Amino acid sequence: MVAIVALKTPQVRQFYASQAAQDGWSVRTLAHQIERIAGSSLHRSGTHHRSG
């Protein structure tokens, strides 16, 4: 579960740890889920900028 260590809050870490355990996620799946959610959050918050 090294992938969740970099998450900022204990609540977020607990959420992902619970989901991974409940759904049997591999480390690769866990990392993908974190990136997918983080990426969509950045896009919605306006902090994600496209170049060009």
- Mean of the per-residue pLDDT values for the chain? 75
CA distance 4 to 45: 22
Average pLDDT over residues 40-50: 48
Share of the chain above pLDDT 70, in %: 63
**CA-CA-CA-CA torsion sign (12, 17, 22, 27):** positive
Tell me which of 22 and 34 has the higher pLDDT. Answer: 22
**Segment 3-25, tens digit of pLDDT:** 667 777 888 889 888 999 999 99
